[in-house]
Amino acid sequence: MAKTTHGLPETKGFFRLRGLATGLKKEDALKSHTFTSGSEKNTAKFGVKVDQESIVFINAEGFKTKEAHLFKQSEVKGEKSQKKVVPWDDRYNHEDEGFKVIGTRLGLEKDEKGKNIISTFAQYDAPEALISGLSDDTSIYVQGKIEYSSFKNRDGDAIRNKKLLADAVFLNSKDIDFEEDGFESLSDFKQTIVFIGIEKAESGDKFLVEAKIITQNSIENAEFVIYEKSLANMIKKNLKPYTSIDVSGKIINKADVEEVKETDSWGKTNSFDRANTSYTREYVIEGANPETIDVETYTQSIVDEALEKLNAKGQQKSSDNWGKQDSNSEKKGVEVEEEDLPW
């Protein structure tokens, strides 16, 4: 377990998407930035259209460092992989020895048999490889980690962010057609949360789950949504505040469309659809795993103590009624080794 600033274990989150790449031609799809400290960072940001209505945006990003970390997978079952640290400029010079750079796995080309040719890039190099190697409307599969952060705006309101950081992008095994019979969208997430409370939303037939997410350097507040009443009741009945549990569900990010009617000077009514600037962005919980319930690791006193530690350092800114369970066995049209999936 990686050492955290506050001493608590991280509550990690993962995602996986399948859809059509979009937004690759935008001017800001690829950004390079040099900080005042001299650090250099590359970022790629584009969308994955997972169905007719929803586009989920992802990032691939990384810093240029003085050294690169390499690994070599052992050919003997049960043996640990070998590791090596080399100068940055030598990061790809040890592949003949079986060493690969630790970073982002990309499969943006296929061999003569139609299988993905997978290469591993340093996180700093992956953004440029993605933007140059992909085109809009390419059918892709993406998986990675969810990053949580927050900041206060000029009015002093806390703004919460969820960022999807890709660590693997592959061409899908077949072209995606949203209108194909039997099409199923894939925009899944799995997240360990520290449950705080649940209440019915003031508007709409849904329930709001308040939770805390433990990151490496902070403790963030996060909100999730439940539409299934039986699952909401099960959580309310069985979970006390500061209980951790694994939840899973769907990522929703779609534009709200309203019908606007105008009457011209001739008295004829024109009707057309216009996309608002507002979006429905929700992480919808569809299932929770009761076997992962933990009432000891993140008690209120333990979390408060960790927050005090962060404040002192100036780093904290602010299948039954449990629903559907995750399964690793369904790859649904993408060639990914089972051991490569994060969940």
Mean pLDDT by 10-residue block, N- to C-terminus, for the chain (343 residues)? 86 98 96 95 97 95 96 86 95 95 96 93 98 97 96 85 96 94 96 97 92 96 96 96 98 75 54 58 96 97 95 67 58 42 42
Angle ∠(281,288,323) on CA atoms, nearest 5? 90
- The secondary structure element, H or E, covering residue 207 is strand 207-214
DSSP string computed for 251-300? EEEEEEEEEEEEE-TTSPEEEEEEEEEEEEEEEEEEEEEEEEEESSTT-H
Residue 333: its pLDDT value, please? 44
Residue 207: its pLDDT value, please? 97
- The secondary structure element, H or E, covering residue 249 is strand 243-263
125, 30 contact by CB (below 8 A): no
Q: At residue 38, what are phi and psi to the nearest 5 degrees?
A: 100, -10
Query: What are the residue boundaries of the structural domains of the chain, listed by start?
Result: 13-64+124-328
Residue 327: its pLDDT value, please? 53
CATH topology of domain 13-64+124-328: OB fold (Dihydrolipoamide Acetyltransferase, E2P) (2.40.50)
Residue 153: its pLDDT value, please? 85
Residue 231: its pLDDT value, please? 97
**How many angstroms separate the CA atoms of 300 and 287, rounded?**
24
- The secondary structure element, H or E, covering residue 229 is helix 229-238
Residue 109: its pLDDT value, please? 94
Beginning with the edge strand found earlier in the chain, give each strand of the sheet holding 82-87 in spatial order.
Answer: 82-87, 67-72, 100-101
